Structure 1
């Protein structure tokens, strides 16, 4: 395919991220192809390297978009919830992963090269998800929050829920004949919150 110049760099970035996000949702990380993304956009595969520096740069941008959607999903689940916001948070984690399995798994399947880190914009956008969780944990702990390392606790609880969710989606829990992984994850979160600040 010949070189084109119909779009600005910002427009190209959006076109490639949108098309890549759609492809990743359809086929998953293992079958993701930069060439197929370029074909869908109508540019050469070399344009990916011109705009993102590498295929890893494109996947990083796609995964950051997934974080944006995930944070929006959690905010929507929490909106108007007064009775049990921790349950809404855990259910939101599971429901996003269940509705978007390829996109969710790609966040963890993709490994950035050692020499490539997150840019400031990507870091802030991804951090929004953790901030939502930390805000809810802080609220749940109330006055006890001042005695807790909230950043560490938040990451630990995210890891707990993630592990349960991952085992559920991959079928590992089913093989172990473990039922109701969401309820198990929620119970572990509640147990941990109950002992904090004692």
Structure 2
């Protein structure tokens, strides 16, 4: 029997979200089960639907928190940086993925329904990219416009590809090492090429 009157709606949302984040960290998106989350918090699956709309809403909330934590990791890395802030961004990306491999992968494994995302969630999800774009604009001493925003996304794609190969073991299987330094080198080359044009 569920404990339907034990918590307020706000408390219930936080309880379910925390349990969902923990489960996602353990099993990843492929192994994720809203029923298991309900079981862990002692409520029914119907309660999850009532609070989050549906399972997609719950996963969207879980991944939105991952975006927030990823942005925090980038900001932490930048706060510890000396003068090489581009290296700090690359290191921050790799660190978050290494420390949270299943949560990091779930960001890319799940595509939320458009109607699930709230404006507040979209704002949170855009934060990592805004951090990167601002640092890229500073590094290039250029205004942050649409062209630079697209370029910054391409740089993230470079780092993401290398990071994905590292996390899955594909990079090591190809006999390669120092993936983070290689990713940073490709980013630097791209920055230099962009500056020429």
Q: TM-score if structure 1 supplies the norm length?
A: 0.92
> How many residue pairs get matched?
196
CA shift digits 1:133-177 (9 cap, x unpaired): 0111011101x4478811101111111100100011011112221
Match of 1:31 in 2: 31
- Computed over aligned residues only, the root mean square deviation of the Cα atoms, in angstroms, reads 1.7
Shift of 1:41: 1.2
Alpha-carbon separation, structure 2, partners of 1:127 and 1:146: 15
The answer (yes or no) to whether the contact 1:66–1:103 under 8 Å persists in 2 is: yes
Q: Which runs of 5+ in 2 are unaligned?
A: none
Deviation at 1:22, TM superposition (A): 0.7
CA distance in 2, matches of 1:146, 1:30: 37
Cα distance in 1 for partners of 2:41, 2:144 equals 50
**Which of residues 152, 159, 169 in structure 2 aligns to 1:161?**
159
Which whole-Å CA distance do the structure 2 matches of 1:100 and 1:116 have between them?
27
Matched, 1:45 2:45: yes
Contact 2:56/2:112, CA 8 A, preserved across alignment: yes
2:174 counterpart residue number: 176
Matches within 5 A, 1:67-86: 67-86=67-86
CA distance in structure 1 between the aligned counterparts of 2:158 and 2:55, rounded to whole angstroms = 31
Measure how far apart 1:9 and its partner are: 2.1
Q: Tell me what 2:138 maps to.
A: 139
Bigger mean CA offset, 30-39 vs 120-129: 30-39
In the alignment, the residues of structure 1 paired with residue 166 and residue 46 of structure 2 have an alpha-carbon distance, to the nearest angstrom, of 38
Q: Which residue of 2 aligns with 1:63?
A: 63
Residue 105 of structure 1 deviates from its aligned partner by 0.7
Deviation at 1:34, TM superposition (A): 0.8
Distance 1:147 1:20, change over 3 A: closer
Structure 1 gaps of 5+ residues are none
Q: Is the 8 A contact 1:147 1:197 kept in 2?
A: no
Q: Structure 1: which 4+ aligned runs deviate by more than 6 Å?
A: none
Q: Is the 8 A contact 1:77 1:92 kept in 2?
A: yes
Does the Cα contact within 8 Å between 2:71 and 2:127 map onto a contact in 1? yes
User: What SS class does the counterpart of residue 149 from structure 1 fall into?
Assistant: helix
Q: Distance in 2 between matches of 1:67 and 1:137?
A: 19
**Alpha-carbon shift at residue 3 of structure 1 (Å):** 5.7
- The 1:147–1:44 alpha-carbon spacing in structure 2 relative to 1, beyond 3 Å, is closer
